[in-house]
A and B are shown apart, each in its own frame.
Chain A
Amino acid sequence: MDEPARLQPEPALALLKLYDDALPHVYGYLRARCGSHPLAEDLAAETFLAAVAALRRTPPPELSTGWLVGTARHKLVDHWRRVAREEHGLHLVHEPAEDHDDPWDAELDLLRAHEVLRRLGTHHRAALTLRYLDDLPVPEVAALLGRSLHATEALLVRARAAFRRTYEGAEDPR
C-alpha cells in the first residue's frame, strides 16, 4: 500500500466514474454543433483529456456533466479559432461592408437554418452557435471568443446579416 501522504486526493478519478453517463452528452453537444462525426469524436476526446488536467488544479473545478459540456464548448471554440485562422484571407474578401441589423420577422425552417449555419464563415458560425444554439448571453460569448463586448456585438450583427442573406438566398435559389 502506498504511503498515505496525498494532500490532494486524485480528483480525476471521479471522471472515470462519470464517463459512461457524460460521454453521450458531450458527444451529442459537439455532434449537433460541428456536423462532422470524426470531428465530434476528436473534440470529445480532447474534452475528456483536458478535463483530467483541469481536475488536478487547485482548487479543482466541480466535476459534473454540465461542466464537461462547458469544457467541450471551449474545445469547439478552439477548433473554430484554428479553422478561422486558415480561412482568414478568404473572409477579408467576402466580408460585406454594409452590415445592418434590421428587424427580421421570419419563422425559420430549422433544417435549412442548420444547413445555412454550416455554410457561413467560421467566425459567424461560432458567434451564432454560442449565442443562439447554446443560448449564452453576449458577455459569455465575448469571453469564449476572446473578444471585447463591443466587438462581439458587432460580430453578432454581421453574423446575423450573413445568416439572413444566405438563408433568404437559400429560400429563393436563382
Chain B
Amino acid sequence: MSDPLDALRAPVAPEDPDAAFAAALRTRLERAVLDPGGAALTSTPTDTARLAWPPSVTPYIGVPDALRAIDWYVDVFDAERRGEPYVMPDGSVGHAEVGIGDAVLMLAGGAPGTPGDVPPPDIPRFSLHVQVPDVDATVARAVAAGADLERPPGDQPYGRTGVIRDPFGHRWMVQTPPARASRVRHGDIGYVSIGVPDAQRAKNFYGAVLGWRFSPGSVEDGWQVEGPTPPVGMWGGATAPEVQLCYRVADLAAAVGRVRAQGGEAAEPERKPYGRLADCTDDQGIRFQLWEPADG
C-alpha cells in the first residue's frame, strides 16, 4: 500500500548557518575539547570503535618519528591502529597505541623528520606500563623498597598515574584505570549466566570437574564463580537448564533497536551498578543480554 506521507522523505540537505554563529560555536567547542588536556592537538580519524583497555602490563617505547614508526609496525607486524595518535602542536606524538595480536604497544616520539636514531631527550626510550588496583599503595611500596619516584600519583582522565624507576634501572608508569575501563569490546562476551534447576548439584558438579569455587551472588540462590574469564554466574531454580551470554555493546539503546528490527525481543534496559542491561531473545528463541558499561 502506498503511503502519501512517504513523499515527506527529506535526506539531509547541508545548509550554512550564520557565519558568526559558526565561529562562536567553534570557539566553545575548542574550549570544551582542549580544556582537560591543555595541549593543542591535531589528529586523523581512524577506527576507534573497537578499542578496549590494554592488558595489565604494556611495553612503552620512545622513537624518533612516531607516526612513521606506527606505519612501520602496521606494515611489518600487521599491527592494528588503536585510536588516534595524540599529536602535540610541534608535531611530536605524546601518546599512541597499536594492537599486535592480543597485546598492545604504546609509543611516544618526535615529529616527522626527527633526525637521528634516538627519541628526543625528553621521551624515555623504554618504559613499562602497569595497571594496579591502587596506584598510591603500589608507588609507596615501590619507593619504600628502593625505587626512585619520578612522578607522584596524580589523577588523569585516563586513570590515576604515577611514575617510578625501579632499583634495577627500569622505568614503570603505574596506573589505576578508571572504573569504566574494560578489556571487553563491543560484541565480546562480558558475562556468562548458567541457570540450573538445582544450584547445589551444579556447584558440586563444576566444583569437582573444573575446581570452581563459588561465592554468594546478588540474587536469591545466585552464585558468582571465582576466577574464570569472562566471569560466570550461576543461579538455581530455573525451570530448564540454560546458558545465557551477555554481550557488551557500545550503544545499548541502538543495539536494543537493532534486536527489535531483526525480529528479536528486547526488554527496556535496566540500570545496574555495573552499567545498563537489557534482557533479549533472538528471533529463534535464544535468550541473551546486552550490556553497556557505566560511563566513568
Contacts and interface: CB of A to CB of B under 8 A. Distances in A.
B97 A13 contact: no
B33 A15 contact: yes
A133 B10 contact: yes
Interface residues of B, number: 87
B227 interface: no
Contacts of A44: 17, 25
A89 B89 CA distance: 55
A130 B123 CA distance: 51
B29 A16 contact: yes
Contacts of A27: 14-17
B254 A29 contact: no
Interface in B22-60: 22, 25-26, 28-30, 32-33, 37-39, 41-45, 47-54, 60
A96 interface: no
Contact of A25 (B12, B85, B182): B12
Contacts of A58: 51, 53, 178, 180-182, 293, 296
Interface string A37-48: 000110011001
A163 B157 CA distance: 49
A92 B45 CA distance: 48
Given A5-B95, A58-B182, A160-B5, 14 more contacts: A4-B62, A5-B161, A7-B53, A9-B83, A9-B96, A40-B17, A41-B18, A44-B25, A49-B29, A58-B296, A61-B250, A105-B2, A143-B253, A143-B257
Contacts of A6: 86, 94-95, 156, 158
Interface in B124-146: 129
Interface in A85-110: 103-108, 110
Nearest to A38: B21
Contacts of B28: 45, 49
Contacts of B106: 7
A103 B1 contact: yes
A113 B8 contact: yes
B8 A133 contact: yes
From A29, A58, A106, A140, name the one whose CB has the most chain B CB atoms within 10 angstroms: A58
A84 interface: no
Contacts of B37: 10
Nearest to B248: A59
A35 interface: no
A16 B12 contact: no
B5 A132 contact: yes
Interface of A: 1-19, 23-25, 27-29, 31-33, 40-41, 44-45, 48-49, 52, 56-64, 69, 103-108, 110, 113-114, 117, 128, 131-135, 137, 139-140, 142-143, 149, 160, 163
Nearest to A109: B7
Contact of B47 (A32, A62, A137): A62
Interface string B95-111: 11100000000101000
Interface string B238-280: 0000000000001101101100110000000000000000000
A28 B47 CA distance: 27
A55 to B, nearest CB: 8
Contact of A59 (B33, B51, B88, B256): B51
Given A2-B38, A5-B156, A11-B83, A60 B25 contact: no
Nearest to B265: A149
23 contacts: A1-B123, A8-B158, A11-B48, A13-B43, A14-B45, A16-B29, A23-B25, A24-B14, A27-B17, A32-B10, A41-B17, A45-B25, A45-B28, A48-B29, A49-B29, A52-B32, A57-B180, A58-B53, A61-B49, A104-B3, A108-B7, A132-B5, A135-B9
Contact of A4 (B3, B29, B32, B94): B94
Instruction: In the A-B complex, list the 10 residue pairs whose CB atoms are closest, starting with the nearest.
Output: A4-B108, A28-B15, A6-B95, A24-B14, A143-B257, A7-B158, A139-B260, A132-B8, A59-B51, A133-B10
A139 B262 CA distance: 10
Contacts of A131: 5
A40 B26 CA distance: 16
